[in-house]
Each structure stands twice: as structure tokens, then as C-alpha cells.
Chain A
Amino acid sequence: MVLTGAVIGTLAAWLVHFGNPKNMGICVACFIRDIAGAIGLHQASVVQYIRPEIPGFILGAFIIALTNREFRPFGGSSPLTRFFLGTLVMVGALVFLGCPLRMILRLAGGDFNALLGIAGFTSGIAGGTYFLRQGFTLGRSYRQPTVNGYLLPLAAVGLITFLILQPSFIAFSEKGPGAAHAPLLIALSAGLLVGILAQRSRICLAGGLRDLILIRDPHLVIGFLSIFAFALVFNLALGNFGPAGFAGQPIAHNDGLWNFLGMALAGLGSVLLGGCPLRQTILAGEGNTDSAVTFLGMLTGAALAHNFGLAASPAGVPASGKIAVVVGLVVTIGIAFASISRVATTAKKGAMSVGA
């Protein structure tokens, strides 16, 4: 766990060194957003690029899961609900401007706005654990025909192919964050390595705080701390750090309230989904088709966030983005409550059939 965090933190710092945007060595939300732009799902010209790290995560997890016989095509645990939760998690993350992983990397780069994000994320997770205690569940999953588990890894190969061939229908940013990227082979290798380690260690940014609050288990949160420590050390060593503060941070805004609420939405949604965007991506590689659907939900969320002008920018959070976060929180809490009552009925039915 410490090792996985160390590798993620170190690689994130080096990826910035090799050309990725500042404080964005690895960001699952931002990179999915860039991919959504590259394949034409949104037209924000500054954030369009096929980030090889994402297909790298999926394929790394896929290969290691196959090797260890942990590849299991399963699914059917409320896929549609997961799709929408994934969409909302992405909207929250893009109002903050980063997934939970980038939140740590931002802090490790001297961006104190991340502190409000962490406070919001923790609140969202604490809220989510309330629902878990009440018996929240999205229902059980079932074995799926094997081909289901191969589709997302296959799509990942397709994305890498597009990146290499650069066909005219794929958009690549000429300026902005989308134009800043590490060389393909370095980024892809880093993605594969992180995918493998994250699959082995089950590292999860949301799970860390969740387990700490819910069952007082620090196992996963150690990964969280390890990422921070190693990213900080290497940011300092490579000259990526700071100047520290709130104003003028790279690809960030300093509207504290919306940094807090954006990450609260991402945290709550992640707990209900059973994992942060990174973990969902890894699980999708292992054959978890519910997580694969969540991934597609996140891709859709990223596209909508830019098509509807919800996503924040260094200029701040647009009014529509604020409305979206509030609506997102209301809908997510609504889903959480609804999924408790459904469980109660299922449990009763289950008990009857056992007795019969």
C-alpha cells in the first residue's frame, strides 16, 4: 500500500516534469474529460487529448487480473444508477477541478485550495457512511458472459491506437492543458504500472477515508498519505512545487465554498459507488462491468460538464456549475435514501424465501 502510494506520488511528479499540466501528473477526472473532448463528446478546445494514462490504468489492471486469475466479469448491481452517480461525481470533480487523486497532488504542489476540497470530500464521505450504516446497497451483481469483461480493455486499446494514428476525427488541443502532456510511451508506461499496482493494492482515495470513519481501519488511507508524501518530496526535488498559496494556482480557482461542495458531491457519490474514480477505472479493467458503466457515466458527465458550461476554470465556477452541484447533491442524496428502503423490502423477501 505504501509502495503503491509512493509509485503514484513519484510518477505524478515526474509526469509533470515530462510535460503533463502542473499539479496534474495524474488526474482521473481531468484525463477522462480530455478523452471525452478528443473523441468529440465536447468541444472545449483547450481540454482535448487522448491521455494514455487512462487506457494504461484499464489495461494494467486487466493484464494483472488475468495473470492472477482475478479477472471476473461480474455486473448487474444497479448499472443505471451507477451510470448517473458516475456522471454526478464527474460534475463535482470538474467544479473543484480534479479527482480525489489530483486533490492530493494539488496540495502536494502547494495549492492550499485543495484543503477545502479535502474538507468537502471528507464531509461527503462521512455523509455516505451514514447511508452505508443505514443499509444502503445498490444490490448484488452476477456473473456475466466473459465477453463483457473484455470490452472496456478493448476500447482502451482502441484509444491508444487513435492516439498513435491520430485520425482526423480525433481532436487534439493546440493550447491549454490539453496540449500539455508527457511523451506517449512514458505516460502509457506510467499508466500501466499504476494500473497494475492499484489493482494489487486496491488503493482507493474514497475508501481510505470511508474505512477510517466506518470501521476505523487505516489500511487504505495509508496509500492516500503515501501519495501525498512522495508527490511532495519529488515536486520539491523537481522544482514543481509552489509558490504555495490560494491565489493563482495552476488549473485551479480559489472559490472555497465551491471547492468544498464540488468535492463533497464527488466524495458522497464515490462512497455510494464503492470507490473513487481511480478505483472505478481499475475495477472496470478487472471485469467489473458495473464499474465500466460508471466509467462511461463519468465520460458522459465530463462531456456534459463542458457542453453545459458547468465545469470550473481558473476564472472561477460558472453559475450553472453551482446549480449543477446543488442539484447533483440533492439527486445523489435522493438515490441514497431510495436505495435504503429498497433494501429493507428485498431483505424481507429474502428472509421469507429462506424460511419457506
Chain B
Amino acid sequence: MAPEIVDARGRWCPEPVLLTRRALDSLTGDQLTVLVDAVAARENVSRMARNAGWSVMVEEIDGGYCLTLTRPS
């Protein structure tokens, strides 16, 4: 199955968090990739996901961050 991606680049907070939250609620797989470009968005999405029990891996990409959220096992 193709990895599911939320592209929240260019979105001012709180939109990246809301987009991610919505995607997590309807996610069928175990992994979600979130693209953000602001540090504040990276922190906010990470905090929300970790609070919900998901593990978060952050990778710096060109002009932003790629967050990999993995469902709690």
C-alpha cells in the first residue's frame, strides 16, 4: 500500500496539527508521513502525535521537515 502523506507545508498553525489529526483518525495503515516547513509546526505536530501515543521520527528535508508517525503497537 502506498504510504499516506499529509502535506502541511506552507500552512500556519494550527492547520498542520488539524490536518494530521484528521488524517490519523481516518488512517487505515500504521504509518503516516507529514511534511511541514516551520519549526513550530514540527513541534506542534510531534507533540500532538506523541500525546496520542504515536511514535514520531523527524527527518530534515529541503526547506522543512518530514515526520514519520507510527501507530502505537
Binding site for B on A (CB under 8 A): 68, 70, 72, 74, 77, 132-133, 137-138, 140-143, 202, 207, 210-211, 214-215, 217, 219, 274-275, 288, 290
| Interchain CA distance A68-B43 in the complex, whole Å | 15
Looking at the assembled complex, report how far the CB atom of B33 sits from the nearest CB atom of chain A, in whole angstroms.
15
Q: Which of B9, B37, B40, B48 contacts A202 (CB 8 A)?
A: B40
A274 and B48 in contact, given A70-B39, A72-B38, A215-B21 (Cβ under 8 angstroms)? no
Interface pair A214/B10, CB less than 8 Å apart: no
Nearest chain-A residue to B22 (Cβ)?
Answer: A135
| Interchain CA distance A333-B11 in the complex, whole Å | 21
A140 and B47 in contact, given A215-B17, A274-B14 (Cβ under 8 angstroms)? no
Interface pair B14/A214, CB less than 8 Å apart: yes
Interface pair B48/A140, CB less than 8 Å apart: no
The B interface is mostly helix, strand or loop, or mixed, namely helix
A217 and B47 in contact, given A72-B38, A132-B18, A202-B40 (Cβ under 8 angstroms)? yes
- How many positions in chain B have a CB within 8 Å of any CB in the partner chain? 20
Binding site for A on B (CB under 8 A): 9-15, 17-18, 21, 37-40, 43-44, 47-48, 51, 63
Q: Which of B12, B14, B39 contacts A290 (CB 8 A)?
A: B12
11 cross-chain CB contacts under 8 A: A74-B38, A132-B14, A141-B10, A207-B13, A207-B14, A210-B14, A211-B14, A214-B18, A274-B13, A274-B14, A274-B15
Looking at the assembled complex, report how far the CB atom of B1 sits from the nearest CB atom of chain A, in whole angstroms.
16
